[in-house]
Chains A and B, each alone.
Chain A
């Protein structure tokens, strides 16, 4: 077990092991998203109130899940990097950040598009929307901080620390924004109360959520692998690998 973990922690071992996992992971991701997408967008029954516009949920909810999970994953990777100095954790964190920011944007954008037919407005200062917007700013801050450092190690440690500070603050921000929202009482509609969904509606949603998570893992692994090759390009095993492929 420890020997396996040790091998997984070294760039060379990780490159070899992840190469074996990757095709299966991509297969699972594509299959789940295809099944969930086609089922949800074509075959699931239309909502009795919202009609077909509710189908945005099949993109919106998985993206919102990922947006929050990726930030936590990034902070955990940052902690691993800061405590055990495992460079691989930092490479993964660096590769996750843009995807997380992208997912946050997708969640916000799909929410805005969904808002037009259901609420009649693109944007509403709702607690969830607001905290999602703040999450996007946190992602941008982490990415910008990493880029601002000249030395890669300094940027890596700074981004790790900021991700950890952010993860402690996210619950505080979420809680305070929710309180602020109830203080203001701006509108009468609510998106916090979910109608009970029939199985033919939530099963495709489940498939999409799992598919998005598999997609996130697959993308992170793929990008981390190319980052390994980039950072370790002077190492002998990378050169041997390149010669082999040539």
Chain B
């Protein structure tokens, strides 16, 4: 650390970035609420499209809830860096003396706090509507909270790569969805195990392991992707 830098430079910058992102998003509550509304709407479509029978819905509810939450999180990814790229603040982030991987993590954390976490908290409510067996609601919320953090990390790589691509939304989902599959498998596995009364520790542990791997590797990939995405 150079001498003219104020004490706690990185943690100060990290908190400032996180706070700025949270404030900016909360000032446009529509963007925070839209993924939640999308999540509820998609879940509403399934009983209409399949059958309203509670026994059928209960068996497929874990998968439906997870896939719908995953798509809702995917929908919000495109805005993660795009607004900042358009008004130039992303370039300032790249030019700042603080390490870019750390600052990118602040943005990912803000995204998770306002997308993944609300989705996880809302999922049990939709689970009731799909007559998910009692006793699996806690696991549903926990698995979604853990898993959506990994989804935000992986998704940030794709969002950063496509930040310079006009109308990159479809491309973004093409890049990111195959990488989401492991998280989906173990997330659904945890909820299914809970619904059948089996142990869920193994699935949650693997979700945690995926998150740990993502936390260590993804920041560097996101930083590299941001430099590529912005400089073209």
Give chain A's interface residues, CB within 8 Å of chain B: 82, 134, 137-138, 140-141, 144-145, 148-151, 153-154, 157-158, 161-162, 164-166, 168-169, 172-173, 175-177, 179-180, 183
Are A149 and B217 in contact, with the CB atoms below 8 A? Answer: no
Are B231 and A154 in contact, with the CB atoms below 8 A? Answer: yes
Quick one: which of B168, B175, B181, B229 contacts A173, CB cutoff 8 A? B181
Q: Output the nearest chain A residue to B218 by Cβ-Cβ distance.
A: A165
Q: Output the nearest chain A residue to B192 by Cβ-Cβ distance.
A: A183
Q: Output the nearest chain A residue to B231 by Cβ-Cβ distance.
A: A154
Give chain B's interface residues, CB within 8 Å of chain A: 157, 161-162, 164-165, 168, 171, 174-175, 177-179, 181-182, 185-186, 189, 210, 213, 217, 221, 224-225, 228-229, 231-232
Are B217 and A168 in contact, with the CB atoms below 8 A? Answer: yes
Within the complex, the shortest CB–CB distance from B231 to chain A, in Å, comes to 7
Are B221 and A144 in contact, with the CB atoms below 8 A? Answer: no
With A177-B185, A180-B189 known as contacts, the answer to whether A161 contacts B221 (CB < 8 A) is: yes
With A158-B228, A173-B182 known as contacts, the answer to whether A141 contacts B221 (CB < 8 A) is: no
Are B175 and A179 in contact, with the CB atoms below 8 A? Answer: no
Q: Bound state CA distance, A158 and B230, in angstroms? A: 11
A166 — which chain B residues lie within 8 A by C-beta?
178-179
B181 — which chain A residues lie within 8 A by C-beta?
134, 173, 176-177
Listed A/B pairs (5) with beta-carbon separation below 8 Å: A148-B168, A158-B161, A165-B221, A172-B210, A176-B185
A141 — which chain B residues lie within 8 A by C-beta?
171, 174-175, 178
Extra A-B contacts (12), CB below 8 Å, given A148-B168, A162-B161, A180-B189:
A137-B174, A137-B177, A137-B178, A144-B175, A148-B171, A149-B232, A151-B232, A154-B231, A157-B228, A162-B175, A165-B221, A176-B181
Are A169 and B179 in contact, with the CB atoms below 8 A? Answer: yes
A179 — which chain B residues lie within 8 A by C-beta?
185, 189
Within the complex, the shortest CB–CB distance from A98 to chain B, in Å, comes to 16
Are B177 and A158 in contact, with the CB atoms below 8 A? Answer: no
